[in-house]
Each structure stands twice: as C-alpha cells, then as structure tokens.
Amino acid sequence: MKMNQALSNRINNLSESQTLEMARLSRELKEQGHDVISLSLGEPDFNIPEFIKDAAKQAIDENYSSYTPVNGYTNLRKAISHKFKRDNNLYYSSEQIVVSTGAKQSIANVLMCLINPGDEVLLPVPYWVSYEAMTQLSEGKTTAIKTNIENDFKITAEQLEKSITARSKVLLFSSPCNPSGSVYTKNELKAIAEVIVKHKNLYVISDEIYEHIVFDGKHESIASFDFIYDRVITINGLSKAFAMTGWRLGYLGAPLWIAKACTKMQGQITSGTNCIAQRAAIAALEADPKRIAYMQKSFLARRNLLINQLKGINGIKLNNPAGAFYLFIDISSYFGKKTTDGHTIKNASDLCMFILNECHVALVTGEAFGDPNCIRISYAASENNISEATKRIKESLLKLY
C-alpha cells in the first residue's frame, strides 16, 4: 500500500497553503546561494515592542508555566473586553471571549461549531487562503462572491443578496482584507448587515486582525450595528498590529452560546493558549494603541513607495488599498506571453514562478486567494528590499514577449 493510500481523504484532498509553499521555495533558493527577496509572507518585520517583552519576562520570573483555562485567563479576557469597548464600540463580556492559538484557530473553531455537511460559507473574492481550506475541513461548501480591482475588491449588498441560498450559513470576510488591503466603510458594512439580518440562519465571521493598519478613514466593525450584533463573531489577535506572529495568540468575541461551543471544541484539540503569550497579551491590549502607531506609519510609507514604483510597469493594474500591508495587482495582461525558453505564461501561478526563478523575488499567486488574474505583494519588508524587488520585477517582465 502506498503511504498516501493510508491517509484519510480529508488530508489527501487538502491543499498546501500557497503562501507557505512560496516561503518554502524561497528558502530552498536561498540555501542554494541565491539572493532572494521575499514579498510573500504577511509578517511584520518589526521587533516586538519592549513593554510587551518586559511583560513576558515578568511572567517567566513569576513562574507562569501551568495549564491555562481553555478559553484564556480571566484577566486577559477582561482586557480584551475593554479593548473591544475602547477601539470598536463593541460590548462583549469576558464570558463571550475565547482566546486561541492564533486568529486562525479562532476562525476554525467557529466554522467547526457552526457548519454541518453541505452548509455554504460565502466568501468574497479575494479571500485569505485558509478560509476555503477551513470550510472544506468543516465539511461545508464555499460560494465565491466575485469582485474586481475597479471596485477595490469589495462586494456590494446587492451581490451578497443574490449569492444567498437556503444552505447559506456563514459570511466570512476580512476588513482590512488579506490579500487586497481593502477596508469596508461604515456605510458599506451597514448595507451588508441589512442583508444579513433578513436571513435568520446566516451568521458573519468578521476577521479584523489588521484593524490597526488602516491608512484612510478608520476601521469599523460590523458587530457595532445593534440589529446584527447577535449574528456576528468578531475575530482578532496580536500577530499583525503588535508584530507577534510567532506568539500565536488570537481571540474572538461572540454570542455566549457560540463562545461556549468554541471553548468546548478547543478543549478537545489544543486546550488553553500558551501562558507566557497570554501574560504578554494583557500588556499589549491594555496599552494605548498610539504606542504601536509607528508601525502603521511605516507601512503607509512602504505602500506609497511600492505603488509609485509599480506604476512605471506596463501591463499592471493597481488600486490604492486603504489598509493591511498588501497590494493585490491585476497582471492578466501578461497571460499568453512567452519566456525566453519558450514557456507560455498561462496564469498568475506561472508568472509568480517565472519571477521567482528569473529574478529571485517571491510573490504569491492570486489563485491562492480565489482570483487567478492577480498576484499578492506583501510590503511588510524594508524600503530597500521593496525598491530592489520592484526593479528586478520590471526587468524580468520586460523579457516576456
């Protein structure tokens, strides 16, 4: 028997994360001695703020080392409750909050608790790579709601209404969005909420992990509308705004019955989140958000630099995303062009591999996010690397004919 025949259909049918796959290919090229610039991962390149490190060190000195409550320390959940009120005008009691090993686990918990086989999860395109895989693992089906660069990759209330069926159970989206950087305004979210409220079996998972990285306007939470509050699960975490990706701490605020279900689910999989990360998270969330505003300012400067340099490349369509640290650019004009060795660029995946092998810049195909006409560029990198990468990309694209 071949090894993969012994594996479950569940794992054999599951695709590898294409963002992580590109990171792996980048590492392999680096190990071969190539100078690779990676603009593929959504990982801030800042160090963790010192006051958060100090809280973690203090926790170690105070001998925090035991199992933690499944849903998180009470004082952390109280800090999250306060943060929701302060930053989002949301009122979640500490009992409505569940702390998990990253926002990714928080989303997976909710889907596993809400989705039955055949239930539909509505995904505005583009969507984060793991949304589709998580839906698959929960035995649900995804329904894509298409957008395009001309409307800043945002769905309308009318599009949502037309996509809802009797099997629709969850609308899952992020704002600010990974991969597009799109940010929904309060009026846009209200229009979407007014559609949701008409369908009593439909819930919203609102992924707000990039909330502190907004350049134009301000971040809004869909749960802030009273008439939809009981149907929304708000997801957040520390990875992006606090540069704490490796600490793996996320959280959700939800109706109490959903929070209890997620605690039950998590109790059978990972139990409670790392104790030191939780103590550090208290310090992070209790701090004034102004203490991390320097990162947002730097990301804005990088966004502007990247846009200005890409504007000089023919065949690329750009928009001006209002948040996160990604550009999602339309490169479909390059489809059908040939490389010098005779290969034809058929899609975004081909173009990403051409760029990686030709000039050693790692990007991520839009196919990973549901849109094969685009590629995602992360500008969570130094300005020097951004400048050098765009120079290489331009030189490589000129070689296509």
Q: What does pLDDT average to in each consecutive run of 10 residues of the chain (401 residues)? A: 80 82 82 91 93 98 98 98 98 98 98 98 97 97 96 97 98 98 98 97 98 95 98 98 97 98 98 98 97 97 97 92 97 94 92 94 95 96 96 95 86
Same-domain pairing of 8 and 118: no
62: CB partners within 8 A, 6+ apart? none
Q: Give φ, ψ of 285 to 5 degrees.
A: -80, -25
pLDDT of residue 21: 78
d(CA 198, CA 195): 6
Same-domain pairing of 249 and 375: no
Residue reference for tokens 């999989």 = 269
pLDDT of residue 18: 75
pLDDT of residue 1: 52
Same-domain pairing of 36 and 120: no
Which H, E and C letters describe 239-300, residue by residue? Answer: CCCCCCHHHCCEEEECCHHHHHHHHHHHHCCCCCCCHHHHHHHHHHHHCCHHHHHHHHHHHH
Q: Angle, nearest 10°, between helix axes 50-61 and 275-286? A: 140
Same-domain pairing of 109 and 130: yes
Cβ-contact 374, 126 below 8 angstroms = yes
Number of domains into which the chain is organized: 2
335: CB partners within 8 A, 6+ apart? 345, 346, 347, 351
Tokens of 67: 């199992």
Tokens of 384: 């020097």
Same-domain pairing of 208 and 309: no
Same-domain pairing of 339 and 261: no
Q: What is the CATH number of the domain that holds 361?
A: 3.90.1150.10
> Of 287, 314, 343, which marks where a domain is finished?
287
> Of 267, 287, 307, which marks where a domain is finished?
287
> Of 218, 252, 287, which marks where a domain is finished?
287
pLDDT of residue 3: 66
Same-domain pairing of 39 and 69: no
Same-domain pairing of 32 and 175: no
Same-domain pairing of 22 and 121: no
Enumerate the H helices of 268-382 as residue ranges. 275-286, 293-310, 348-359
Same-domain pairing of 205 and 153: yes
Q: What is the CATH number of the domain that holds 200?
A: 3.40.640.10
pLDDT of residue 26: 82
Same-domain pairing of 279 and 303: no
Same-domain pairing of 79 and 199: yes
Q: Which domain holds residue 41?
A: 3-47+292-397
